[in-house]
Amino acid sequence: MSAPPLPSLLVSLLRDVPRRYRVPATPAEAASPDATRPAAALAIAIEQARIAARAGDPPDAEREQRFLAALARLIQDALHPGRGDPVFQAMVLRHRIPVVREFASLSAQAASDRRAIRQAVNAIAHPARQERTPPGPLRDTLAQVQALASAAAWPALKDALQALARRPEVAGQTPLARGVARALDAAALTRLTRLAVLGTDPEVQTYQALWARNGPRSGSQAAAAQGRTTRARGEAVEALTTQALQAVAQRLDAAENATGAYRVVTAMHVPPSLPGNADTAKTEWDAVLLRRAPATGHTAPVAWDVCLLAEAKASVDAATTDFPRLTRGLRLLASADAHADYRFQTREGAVTLRGASLAALGMPDDGLAAPILYCCDAPADSAPRLLGAASRMQLLSAPASLAYASRLAEGQTPDTDMLRDVWTQLRSSAAWRGVLQQYAVLRTVREHMVHVGDLADCAAEVARRS
């Protein structure tokens, strides 16, 4: 069983809709006149390396030197006190300073340590236990222990627990004594106390200040407000995308004189019955244009074929970040049995999709052939970012880059040969494939990105011509 071809009107629309976000075939064309900037120069060098590797060309010393020089300048710029990258500067500080490394290591498990200690404190000083304790010094001490744990005052909490353990009414093998001993002996409390001490170190405070410049702290009110704003923007673009696809569905219905032959569903969730691997794959699709499949019997449920998948993005760069998940999501859909039907849940209710339609979404090795659009309402960027944020950070956070940056931070003038391992890894390591392919991926994403207004306008224009 095979899926029917896309309707000719939809093919015309996808061909004619403007691609205002498109980038040139090579980063060198896109970079002019910014090709001398480190990020643009690196993007050019990386793309040249990719093309050479694909052609099987031998290593080129001149190309390597251009890459090393551009990476060195990127590192220098990122270290600049005023216009540099605070996240990278924090990473370099962690690389250089032992107490900062220790602080970062302890911070990584601090959340679980805090939960463990608060649980241990609740076992001995929960408000309900306090109520069962007669008024007096013991009850007051239990209240103090609970308050210090709630305030994350770990050194003071340790002192209060030690004072509690020395109280005559706690001494001995009572349940309270054993609970206090467990809390005092907990490795989590030792780590949290050490973390608090390290937090007073000037280098650690600089490290924390650098991270703070990267945005609101996770879990803070500012972070929550930022998250609400981002969600609202995303929901607005999703609504515009849905409206544009609905306009396309109406034009297709009119062209075929078949009311209800096309429909749009949103928030389409992939069912677990698909045999492919759902790990890190996109399992919810923002908007999907469906076509009613030919009836196969009087009692058979209505089935649908996928005509177009659309993902809404509030920013242009967000699509590039999303692309790996999207490609894995397409492979998951394409794992469907062509002879089976699958039940998908959507915001509009359950729909049955034919496996043949899903299996046709398979991706070739050399690009993205599936009928998919990234929809955005942001203006086209006159100077697109040629080196993606993820690739830039992988380059900067490589051990060789951090070692080079540490020398610079200490006032030395290191040789760019220190960075040669990054070049070697880029050309040979699977872990660096995403960086090597980064401009090719950018081109693919931008080829499949349209402005939602252009999509709606083009649907109306194509229908008028037909």
Dist. CA 330–CA 333, nearest whole Å: 5
Q: Is the pLDDT of residue 222 over 80?
A: no
Q: List the Cα angle 372/301/262 in 5-degree steps.
A: 35
Tens-place pLDDT, residues 408-444: 999 999 999 999 999 999 999 999 999 999 999 999 9
Token pair, residue 277, equals: 């691997």
Token look-up 């220790």 returns 102
DSSP state, residue 298: S
Q: Is the pLDDT of residue 35 over 80?
A: no
Q: Is the pLDDT of residue 365 over 60?
A: no
Tens-place pLDDT, residues 269-296: 999 999 999 999 999 999 999 999 987 6
> Quick one: which H or E segment has residue 303?
strand 303-313
Tens-place pLDDT, residues 250-263: 999 988 888 889 99
**Which pLDDT value is given to residue 231?**
81
Tens-place pLDDT, residues 294-308: 876 555 679 999 999
Tens-place pLDDT, residues 315-363: 999 999 999 999 999 999 999 999 999 999 999 999 999 999 999 887 5
Length of the chain: 466
